A and B are shown apart, each in its own frame.
Chain A
Amino acid sequence: MSDEHPLPPVARRVRALAQLLAGTDLLRLRIEREGEEIELGRRALHPDLVPEIPHDLGAIETKPVRADQIRADLVGIFHLSRPAPAEGDLLENDRELAFIEALGIRNPVRSRGPGRIVTVKRGEGEPVEYGAVLFEIDRG
């Protein structure tokens, strides 16, 4: 493989893991870290077959499996802000998505940066406990 076009970081990681897998009798190897998951498996179950190490790793993409979770940091009633955020919405910047009403006080829930809303986990007026997942956001 030419060094004129260095591999992207994810491709380097995949290659290293493929070499690791090849040197063992494992059938499958899965690594999750920091919102990224890489899974490698042997193409056949025969233990003598060595998984083929891809030559062109530049096209390999990893898809974030665990989106960034926005959690409640207090106990109260969940209310969506207006306009109500919906799944699939693109967030250009940090913005208020909802608020938690507790003891008569409005506690904003913010997106903490740009991204895409993957899931709205709570409904309007729903009681939420500390730590409850409110939104899942794909940071792209």
Chain B
Amino acid sequence: MRTVAIFSEADRESLHVRQADEAFCVGPGPVPRSYLNIPNIISTALITGCDAIHPGYGFLAENARFAQICADHGLTFIGPKPGVIAAMGDKATAKRVMREAGVATTPGTDILESVDDALHAGEEIGYPVLLKATAGGGGKGMRAVENPHEMERAFTSATAEAEASFKDGRVYMEKLIIDPRHIEVQVLGDEFGNVVTFGERDCSVQKPSHQKLIEESPAPHLSDAARSSLLDMAVRACKHVHYSNAGTLEFLVSGHDVYFMEMNTRIQVEHPVTEMVYSVDLVKEQIRIAAGEPLGYAQHDLQLRGHAIECRINAEDAYNNFAPQAGALTKVVFPGGPGVRVDTHVFSGAAVPPYYDSMIAKVIAFGASREAAIARMERALRETVVEGVSTTIDYCLEILATPQFREGRYDIGFLPRMLAHALT
């Protein structure tokens, strides 16, 4: 299978450009003129003779219009059908669809048209609330609002960030559930109505911006009953909308309560932990499904083995409110060995441009047990060298060393509390 990579001028030296069979520059550094430049992306695919486009997990990955444009030009979009993306990728619509499927959802609203709408909704739902981008992901366009006085500023900044990140500034509101666990389910569906789950991931270690930092599979201390309930809801939801290709259903788990939060109709950043414990290549499965092949296996064929953890290595100053860093990476050494995997686009001498998400690598560790995976991750992170910019490596090691993480007893408030404690 031959590949064509697209890149911006800022990413000209990126590894994906070097490793693809062909590569085309689609615009300058700023996202709207390059990675959101649909005409240049489609044109690249057509003139290079591509059959399909894999949208990755950012930018246009959940853009139903882009998926439709691909179809209109005879290109296979490697992901769900445009109508399903529109239904499930639009977060506000997805919640309505889930309620129709009998899945419990976080109390919330449809799209909010104005600050006044948001204020009214906040009063109805009851503070604190969370504003979220309907086309969003990765914590972008998300703002917690504690009281009405914060609403106008939060609404304005959430919509602006959503517009800049996804070309869709619409936001909706949810009840902010205090310190739940964020547990998500990986699904794969084919064009023949078959749906399987690949277990769950615990993604509760999140920065105050709600962006994930550490993910693991399986989720520690999740009861069999809760797991069964999550997986059952995920399958029911996917079959209700005739879902095909890869996706993730995200839930908030608070005690015995489980709420559907949203569905990401794409491959996720943290998909490697699932690949490690299920010995599956999810991206390969995406391509097979997009090519019209059936899954070829049933749920009982899938066996979880061991435990996997992922740490995101971001070009950020974790000790300064995770301020993003840009600059030249003067030295980069990644770890290796059994059970260690690194996904990255950088190398010694690479530049970290200021235009994009700060993640520069993912380090994934697998072990026969959770304890073994933690030990392997700690060793891997200590062997990782990134010089030239500040990174989250040391901060991830700090998190891994905490009793809360080692015992697997943490929620999405864990990291904000840890940060707040460090400031006092």
Q: Do A and B come from one complex?
A: yes
- What is the CA–CA distance of A26 and B47 in the complex, to the nearest angstrom? 51
Q: Are B39 and A103 in contact (CB under 8 A)?
A: yes
Query: For the complex, is A123 an interface residue (Cβ under 8 Å from B)?
Result: no
Q: Which residues of A contact B39 (CB under 8 A)?
A: 74-75, 102-103
**Do A129 and B42 form a contact, CB below 8 Å, given A76-B47, A77-B47?**
no
Could you tell me if B43 and A76 are in contact, using CB atoms closer than 8 angstroms?
Answer: yes
* B46 contacts A by Cβ under 8 Å: yes
| A54 CB-CB contact with B under 8 Å | no
Given contacts A75-B24, A75-B26, is CB(A127)–CB(B48) below 8 Å?
yes
Whether A103 pairs with B27 at a CB distance below 8 angstroms is no
Residues of chain A with a CB closer than 8 A to B28's CB: 130-131
Whether B44 lies near A129 (C-beta < 8 A) is: yes
Decide if B25 is an interface residue (CB 8 Å cutoff): yes
Interface size, B (range): 10 to 19
A103 touches B25 (CB 8 A): no
**Bound state CA distance, A103 and B44, in angstroms?**
10
- Residues on B with C-beta less than 8 A from A129 are 24-26, 44
The answer to whether the Cβ of B9 comes within 8 Å of any Cβ in the partner chain is yes
Q: Are B40 and A130 closer than 8 Å at their CB atoms?
A: yes
Residues of A within 8 A of B27 (CB): 130
Closest residue on chain B to residue A74 by CB atoms: B40
Q: How far is the CB of A4 from chain B (nearest CB, A)?
A: 50
A76 CA / B44 CA spacing, docked (Å): 7
Task: Enumerate chain A residues within 8 angstroms of B41, measured Cβ to Cβ.
Answer: 75
Inter-chain contact A74/B25, CB cutoff 8 Å: no
Contact B43 A102 (CB under 8 A): yes
Report A-chain residues with C-beta under 8 Å of the C-beta of B9.
Answer: 130-131
B contact residues around A75 at 8 Å (CB): 24-26, 39-41, 43-44, 47
Q: Which residues does A use to contact B, with CB under 8 Å?
A: 74-77, 102-103, 127, 129-132
B residues sitting closer than 8 Å to A (CB atoms) are 9, 24-28, 34, 39-44, 46-48, 73
Could you list 14 examples of A-B contacts with CB < 8 Å? A74-B40, A74-B43, A75-B24, A75-B26, A75-B39, A75-B44, A76-B47, A77-B47, A129-B25, A129-B44, A130-B9, A130-B24, A130-B40, A131-B28
Question: What are the nearest 8 A-B pairs in CB distance?
Answer: A129-B25, A75-B43, A129-B24, A75-B40, A102-B43, A127-B47, A130-B25, A75-B44
- Given pairs A76-B47, A103-B39, A130-B25, 15 additional interface contacts (CB within 8 A): A74-B39, A74-B40, A75-B24, A75-B25, A75-B26, A75-B44, A102-B40, A103-B43, A127-B47, A127-B48, A129-B24, A129-B26, A130-B9, A130-B34, A131-B25
